[in-house]
A = this chain, B = another copy of it.
Amino acid sequence: MENKFDAIILGAGPAGYECALYLGERGKSVCLVDKSEENIGGTCLNEGCIPVKSLVESAHLVQRMKEYKDVFNVDFRIEYSNAVKLLEDQKSQLRQGIISRLKRSKVNMIFGKGMLVTNNAVRVDGVDYFADSIVLATGSYPKSLSTLNIDENKIISSSGLLKLKNLPKDILVVGGGYVGCEFASLLNYFGSNVTIVEFLPKIMGVEDDEVSRTLLREFKKRNISVNTDSEIVNVQNKDEKILVNFKNRKSNLVKEALVDIILVSVGRGPNTKDLNLEAINAKTERDYIITENDFSINNSNVYAVGDIIKTPMLANVATREGIFVAKKILGETECVNYELLPRVVFTDPGVGCIGLTEEDLKSKGISYKTYRAFFKGNGKALIMGQNSGFFKVLTSEDEIILGAMFIGPMAYELVHIMAIAMQSKANVTELKNIIYAHPTLSEIIFSALV
């Protein structure tokens, strides 16, 4: 293998491998660097989106089998370890798919730890490689709390949780954001006793209040203990378990929970410390790399994309940024529009939101109209046995859509109907004109507007 390439990419997550594929498929010589073959696909494939959604899928099937127990005389024994095995198989299948595509596109893969030497050179385990363009896409790690250090033994991150072979009987989830809520929802379906401790006054902090309240109500129905405005005050081992004390910040009331595992899901931090950023005079802010609008660092031939910059830390955003930079290197143009970014959560009920929330509109002083319908009035949702939740759309006074939120079945797919409506600046009349197929969940849009 030569050690000179058109582009070297550090990090084989969604930003990195999509960038590599785009360049490789168009004849560029590309070198993709990550720690090991098992890291290809990044957090998304290995420790995030994919394995979590695989567990969600299994968990929902468990729940459906419980609901249909009598209809089909179903008898089953939850083997969590088998669900984990299934997710490992699915990960491996998807990873092999990416590796095949990388090979077909003649992308060179080098395994080791990469760092910058100059703006044309990186060093991987002591060997230097050279390129016209360098793309940094090294992703992120799960953060600890100052009071609660992740040891991946009993105090674990989402990565650690996805490595557990057995279901924890009792688990405390620190952080009721998207990730915490997804794990709480799926572990509860598998049969864990789940306690959420959230510092903010509501779960899913930035989301629309009504969505947050609805999810809270559904979680309570499912006997998930949700403690908002709360923080951990003490953690101690007790026999094989952990005794956790947490305090309500308003009432100062202290509660305790005896659990097997503490899952810390309080956000992620960028993997930038070992990149030797000084070599190219890159500026950072709280470890995030500061880039120009085209993702270049100081308008140079070095770019940063994905979780290491200050855009939303999501795989789909990373993918777009990776493709953007690949096109930039090829002299093509692309746009990344963060305003039309669906916010989805794979809880049950699921959440899919886009655009502004009611709270956003109020705080901006924008007057708006609200249209709303509930899944309990939707025939398909009733047939699915999943008729909790609602659809809400917020419009300007002249009925242009400003924001929309689904909480209910398939919310994470339905939100894309509203995404294209907003992208096209559609108004309420245009949304109403469609003769929604029957019986579908999508009909809830018409029900809200009629």
A residues adjacent to B (C-beta < 8 A): 14, 44, 49-50, 53-54, 57-58, 61-62, 64-65, 68, 70-79, 82-83, 85-86, 90, 93-94, 97, 314-317, 319-320, 323, 335-338, 340-344, 352, 377, 379-380, 382-384, 410, 412-417, 419-421, 423-426, 430-431, 433-443, 445, 450
7 contacts between A and B (CB under 8 A): A53-B379, A57-B384, A316-B435, A340-B433, A344-B437, A420-B421, A423-B430
**A57-B383, A72-B82, A90-B382 known; A434 vs B416 contact (CB < 8 Å):** yes
A53 touches B416 (CB 8 A): no
Q: How far is the CA of A62 from the CA of B71 in the complex (A)?
A: 10
Chain B residue nearest to A321 (CB atoms) is B435
Residues in chain B near residue A65, CB distance under 8 A: 61, 65, 72, 74
Chain B residue nearest to A340 (CB atoms) is B434
Chain B residue nearest to A336 (CB atoms) is B435
Q: How far is the CA of A90 from the CA of B378 in the complex (A)?
A: 12
Q: How far is the CA of A336 from the CA of B434 in the complex (A)?
A: 8
Nearest 7 CB-CB pairings of A with B: A424-B424, A316-B438, A344-B437, A416-B442, A74-B76, A342-B437, A71-B82
Chain B residue nearest to A415 (CB atoms) is B437
Within 8 Å by CB of A94, from B319, B337, B379, lies B379
Q: How far is the CA of A414 from the CA of B437 in the complex (A)?
A: 11
Q: How far is the CA of A436 from the CA of B72 in the complex (A)?
A: 37
Of A97, A317, A344, A433, most buried by chain B (CB within 10 Å of CB) is A433
Residues in chain B near residue A430, CB distance under 8 A: 420, 423-424
Chain B residue nearest to A346 (CB atoms) is B439
Q: How far is the CA of A97 from the CA of B440 in the complex (A)?
A: 17
Within 8 Å by CB of A342, from B379, B435, B439, lies B435
Residues in chain B near residue A450, CB distance under 8 A: 323
Distance between A418 CB and nearest chain B CB, rounded to angstroms: 8
Q: How far is the CA of A61 from the CA of B445 in the complex (A)?
A: 26
Within 8 Å by CB of A82, from B70, B340, B414, lies B70
B377 touches A97 (CB 8 A): yes
Residues in chain B near residue A421, CB distance under 8 A: 420, 424
Chain B residue nearest to A418 (CB atoms) is B420
